Chain A
Amino acid sequence: MGCRRSSELDRVLATTSFLIDDATGALIESDIFFNSAFPWSVAENGESGRFDVQSIALHEIGHMSGLGHSALGETELRESGGRRVIASEAVMFPIAFAAGSIAGRTPRADDIAGMSDLYPDGDFGQLGSISGRVTKDGRPLFGAHVVAFDPASGALVGNFTLNAQGQFSIDGLSAGPHILRVEPLDDADIDSFFESTRTVDLEFRVTYANRLIVVPRRGDSGPVDIEVARK
């Protein structure tokens, strides 16, 4: 972990790189660099106009641990280019909170579910999941962002449809009824989530599953089919 001035990366606060043994898949080395072209702070309560090292480090350590980006956030385009975060509910959202904020120091439900899925402990086995399929005009939709909302706890946990069949699975959910919401991936650059060779359809409207989805303890909801409508 270190600092380096990379003025040409005018929108990159930090990055994480990996050295992986192709033969075994083992992670040999991981490096995190903070771009010192930006102002940083290690102040306990944050510092106005400076990015919080702890918040950004937590995001990068998430990558080092195997997490990808979360799409649980809302943004708007800046006139000067780039995006401004309106809101986010995941440390692993690819765009940082405004300079001075320390909100990124606290993992959210989505981060915890993702990390627990990678490194499950005893309690994780008590949780359940929702799986299903998203279609548009009857055809599978790749890259749709599916979010499960637990009305009991307020937790938001998301994932994407990740294959050619438009299937998704959201793990690490508390048992009970959930509201399921599907949205296009329009709050960050597509290549923050998927390889640039993949085509992701953004031309559909926010859609909710037509029933409450019950997550059983230690089990899956059973297949949930959601047909989204064109914009």
Chain B
Amino acid sequence: MTRHLVCSFFLGRAPRVSCLALTLGLTGPPALAQSSSAGVGRFEISAGIIRVGQASFGGRDAEETAGTGTGRFRLFSSSTELTAVSGFGARFGVTLMRSLDAEISGTYGTSDLRSRIEADAETSNAPIVVMVPVQQFTIEGAAVWYPGVPRAGSRTRFFVKGGAGLERHLEDRGSRVVEGRMFEMGGGVKYTFASRSRGWWRGLGARLDALALVHAHAVAVDDRAHASPAVGASVYLKF
């Protein structure tokens, strides 16, 4: 009670928030300085790992024209997919409004373009799988919206996110470079380990993302858009 009375001498928004943080820090769970997570103009960097699920490009048969001149004859069948991508990424974000951030991020990951071959007309061999390594670089911009004002003292903050970017794939260690577009939509949660209202950093935490990624072009052999699930885990530092 006494502490509240001390704080009441201050006027203006920032001191009051600081006062709240101080109060919480002394009377409840570990302190959270709300100003550091909601301050307009503050920026944040993060780094972490990503995992993008596989993208199936469907099947295509190797076909010849049947001897009658009409109809098709299947020489063999193939189906192709881009296997799951494992990699890491970095992100830079800035708070535009109390509940809205803008961020730019880049990732690097590796996977395989894999084809399964089966049903060869001239051999009874078991299906075989052939592949080629693919390196994937992405850069994207996104908007992050925090749908609710966090409760005082809460360490978690949920968000939804949407963005678009470019991806570059290097097939077979750079034998061919292909580029495409990507779009993402999803959400996640931030968990704050520590925060403070003064000092060169204002917050430290972890972040989990769960997204649906839509790839267009790039290594997609059928030249169509494909969706993949993606998850990411990162550590962030807010300034």
Interface positions of A (Cβ within 8 A of B): 46, 72-74, 84-89, 97-98, 100-104, 108, 149, 151-152, 154, 156, 175-177, 179, 181, 183, 205-206, 208-217, 219, 221-222
Contacts and interface: CB of A to CB of B under 8 A. Distances in A.
Given A152-B223, A177-B115, A183-B122, A214 B172 contact: yes
B67 to A, nearest CB: 4
A27 to B, nearest CB: 30
B122 A103 contact: no
A87 B70 CA distance: 10
Interface string B115-137: 10100111101001011100000
Nearest to A103: B69
Given A87-B66, A151-B115, A181-B76, 17 more contacts: A73-B64, A74-B121, A87-B65, A87-B67, A97-B67, A104-B69, A154-B61, A156-B64, A156-B75, A175-B176, A177-B219, A177-B221, A179-B117, A211-B130, A211-B132, A213-B132, A221-B175
Nearest to A104: B69
B232 to A, nearest CB: 28
The 7 A-B residue pairs with the shortest CB-CB distance, nearest first, are A101-B69, A87-B73, A103-B69, A87-B64, A89-B64, A85-B67, A212-B132
Interface of B: 57, 60-70, 72-73, 75-76, 78, 80, 113-115, 117, 120-123, 125, 128, 130-132, 171-172, 175-176, 219, 221-223
A13 to B, nearest CB: 15
A2 B142 CA distance: 70
Given A152-B221, A152-B223, A206 B120 contact: yes
A77 B181 CA distance: 52
A212 B115 contact: yes
Nearest to B221: A152
A87 B66 CA distance: 4
A154 B120 CA distance: 15
30 contacts: A74-B73, A74-B121, A87-B66, A87-B67, A87-B72, A97-B68, A97-B69, A98-B67, A98-B68, A100-B69, A101-B68, A149-B78, A151-B60, A151-B221, A156-B75, A177-B171, A177-B219, A179-B117, A181-B62, A183-B122, A205-B125, A206-B120, A208-B130, A211-B130, A212-B113, A212-B115, A212-B130, A214-B172, A216-B175, A221-B175
B62 A179 contact: yes
A46 B221 CA distance: 36
Nearest to A154: B60
A88 B122 contact: no
Contact of A179 (B69, B115, B123): B115
Contacts of B122: 74, 183, 206
A210 B128 CA distance: 9
A210 B130 contact: yes
Contact of B125 (A87, A206, A216): A206
A203 to B, nearest CB: 14
A103 B115 contact: no
A1 B225 CA distance: 51
A74 B74 CA distance: 11
Contacts of A85: 67
A88 B130 contact: no
A219 B176 CA distance: 10
Contact of A222 (B61, B78, B175): B175
A77 to B, nearest CB: 14
A210 B130 CA distance: 6
B72 to A, nearest CB: 8
A183 B120 CA distance: 11
Nearest to B223: A152
B175 A98 contact: no
Given A212-B115, A212-B130, A149 B62 contact: yes
A57 to B, nearest CB: 16
B69 A176 contact: no
Given A84-B67, A179-B117, A212 B131 contact: yes
Contact of A209 (B73, B130, B219): B130
Contacts of B57: 151
A45 B219 CA distance: 40
A63 to B, nearest CB: 20
A159 B72 CA distance: 22
Contacts of A222: 175
Contacts of B172: 212, 214
